[in-house]
Amino acid sequence: MKIIDRDERLKTQTGTKMVIFGPYGIGKTSLLKTLDESTTLCLDFEAGLLAVQDWKGDSTEIRTWNEARDIACLIGGPNPAVRADQAYSQKHYEHVCSKHKDLLSEVSKYRCIFIDSIAIASSVCFSWARMQPEAFSDRSGREDKRAAYGTLAQEMRAWLNQFQHIRDKDIIIVGTLGQYLDDCNRSTWLPQCEGVKTASEIPGIVDEVISMVGIKQENGTEKRSFVCQTINSWGYPAKDRSGCLDMLEEPHLEYLDDQSPTPEDIISPRILTKRGLLVLGGPPKIGKSDFLISWLVHMAAGVSFLGMTPNRPLKIFYMQTEIEYEYMKERLQQLQLDEELVNIAANNLIITPKVHLSFNHDEISEIKEIVKERFKPDVLAIDPLRNIFSSEYGNENDNSAMLFFLQKTLEKLRSAVNPDACIVLTHHTKKLSKKMLEEDPFQGLSGAGSLRGFYSTGMVMFAQDDESTVRQIVFELRNGERVASKLVDKINGRWKEDNVLSDFLTDFNTAKSQSNLIPKGTTVKVKMTIKPGGYENWFTKSYTTGSIYLNAEFTVTEGQYAKRKIYQVIGIKSGKANVEKEDVWGESGRSMLRSILESARNIHPHDTSEKATLARKLNSIADLNGLEFRAKVGIEADRYGEKNKIAIVVTPENTENDWIPF
């Protein structure tokens, strides 16, 4: 592991990773002709390059998935994160190098790898996945297509990961674009691949997503073009991580060699980039609007705010639909800002009083006239999104409806006011559980599936403690490196970073070692919860081994370790079990469940009375939810480190006449 400073990183040669989608016959393969023939290698999955027979570059035909794996390993090198017996390991790399000695010396000369196409590559992979042992049911021996699709998703992700981590080469993947209609007869353009997971993950892997399509001109003809920006009026899939591409570009790839500088951040560090979309989310009444007002005033004055710095005093048009004029005036006067800062901001910031907007043609024209009288805005701020999200689009939690709104309405507004403007939206989140806050707070945004595919920056504000005024803000950037979360508080009318708490959450030298583990042998009382796994409602089934188990959560209910949680799998049936061999793993899990029932219902293990026999039975697995029992805690190690487990369930010593009924 090595720390790479800025100067060294800028000197490193890095290639662009992109995927280009387009309908049949648009000329995707012909893009090869716009690349340097001497430094380009085409991986041909499509049985011949008939469309570019006169192209003089090199190509190799890929007919099997093992060939696809080998070439990816040869070009991308070994993956240090996989086991020695897995594809793309050091052992696999050595095998490929010895098998294809003639290719080894050749691949280093190529600057660009062109993959034609992802649709056929995924089809070849699926044919291979259907033949793997895990794609057949252990019980019946018949094909299990769900397992095959699971293997397909894992394989395609690992294969694409090989190309993603090739630093010194451009990787260009082409694929087919299909048009689909949803239940409301709205058209959506989606990549065509085997398995939905592959199509949904590609945009997160590559730097650029481009749609190559025919765009209608004013004279009625169509012109082949690259659609390069996420928010576009046609609804084509697109993403520009570089921020350098216009909405429409000429359909050729020579810009790969364009070394012109990246546009300056509108707000650094990469908080808001050219034509960017920023979404500030949080629960109702958390302080989003108050925070946004203070932030926008600073940006309009050209002054840094909590480490976010504008490149100049920004022209901002702020449309808010919740706060009446009198209360907006009160909030602005309570900001306790310097007079000089306020004077500069006043010339650059338009704030509307509470308005009702639907962004129809007349309203957009009116907004256009308002800003025309004052200035051409750099930033359009809308607070909140929910109040302008018309019911005609559908429900804001519906990803398709959110997608339609973003593509049609927001882009129409931007085009009318300033095609290069950035957009800032505030948006409500649903109530965030502690687990969601820890794992992925951005998933709490309404319509998150579509929003996260569109915005260039996401910010979520939430409170770690309901009794505290301190707010935590986390960031998600598409165009930049990770930004550390901030703890902020409004003190004497000004938002400030809470550095004491920031140190508390970032410097763990004073934390107790292994403070989250309950000591081995401790007896605790726990409450049991089963997490439904989707197999027969309550059970979870492994698609790789076929094993069936329960995902259990045990919460300590009293004592010094109250509220601590222990997560454990309870085996029900091993995927390797058969008629001739005892299912040790499954029987161990069933024995644990028997002990839990005996402990919770106060039954002696050797009690064979009718009451005891009845107490060891369940109406359904759901009866396990809420059971409280005593257990001895143990400690075990897995690949993530040490963790607690339920080592022994403590059952009653003697038969009890007054056992707890169920």
DSSP letters spanning 427-490: EEBPPPPHHHHHH-GGGGBTTHHHHHHH-SEEEEEE-SSTT---EEEEEEESSS-----EEEEE
Confidence (pLDDT) at 660:
38
Residue type, 481: E
Q: Three-state SS across 348-416?
A: CEEECCCCCCCCCHHHHHHHHHHHHHHCCCCEEEEECHHHHCCHHHCCCCCHHHHHHHHHHHHHHHHHH
Inter-CA distances, 486 with 460, 469, 503, Å: 11, 14, 11
Give the pLDDT confidence score for residue 122 in this predicted structure.
93
- Tens-digit pLDDT profile for residues 167-191: 888 999 999 998 877 667 777 888 8
First to last CA, the chain: 56
Averaged in consecutive runs of 10 residues, what is the pLDDT profile of the chain (662 residues)?
66 79 88 89 82 84 93 91 89 91 83 91 93 87 89 92 88 89 75 85 87 86 88 87 82 66 86 91 89 93 93 92 82 78 88 77 80 86 80 69 76 86 90 71 76 84 83 86 87 79 54 71 94 73 79 93 92 70 84 93 91 90 91 84 90 53 34
Q: Would you state the structure tokens that stand for residue 212, as one six-digit string?
A: 């190559």
Q: Comparing C-alpha atoms, which of 190, 251, 244 is closest to residue 399?
A: 190
The pLDDT value recorded for residue 258 is 57
CA distance 273 to 2: 29
Rounded CA separation 179/197 (Å): 18
Q: Give pLDDT, residue 393.
A: 64
Pairwise CA distance, residues 488 & 531, whole Å: 35
Of 135, 229, 148, the residue nearest 195 (C-alpha): 148
**177/26 Cα distance (integer angstroms):** 10
Domains defined for the chain, CATH in brackets: 13-209 (3.40.50), 267-504 (3.40.50.300), 522-649 (no CATH)
pLDDT (0 to 100) of residue 104: 79
User: Helix 118-129 crosses helix 65-76 at what angle (to 10 degrees)?
Assistant: 120
- Rounded distance, CA 554 to CA 565, Å? 6
470-525 residue pLDDT tens: 999 999 887 777 788 899 998 888 898 876 555 555 555 555 555 578 999 999 99
- Is residue 499 helix, strand or coil? helix
DSSP state for residue 509 in the 8-state scheme: T
Q: What is the DSSP string of 89-144?
A: SHHHHHHHHHHTHHHHHHHTT-SEEEEE-HHHHHHHHHHHHTTSGGGB-TTT--B-
Where does residue 301 rank: exposed (0-12), middle (13-18), buried (19+ CB within 10 A)?
Answer: buried
- pTM for the complete prediction? 0.46
pLDDT at 64: 93
* Contacts of 462 by beta carbon, 8 Å cutoff, 6+ apart: 282, 283, 286, 429, 432, 437, 441, 471, 472
What is the model's pLDDT at position 375? 86
Alpha-carbon distance of 490 to 216, in angstroms, equals 51
What per-residue confidence (pLDDT) applies to 510? 55
| Cis before 23? omega within 30 | no
147 burial type by CB count under 10 A (0-12 exposed, 13-18 middle, 19+ buried) = buried
CB of 191 closer than 8 Å to CB of 176? yes
Beta bridge partners of 182: none
AA identity, residue 455: Y
Q: Residue 416: which of 363, 365, 458, 470 has the closest Cα?
A: 365
Residue 507 exposed, middle or buried by CB count within 10 Å (0-12, 13-18, 19+):
exposed
pLDDT attached to residue 547: 85
Residue 609, token pair as written in the block = 């009375």
Helix (H, G, I), strand (E, B) or coil at 620: coil
List the one residue out of 458, 452, 449, 455 whose CA is nearest residue 399: 449
CA distance 128 to 365: 56
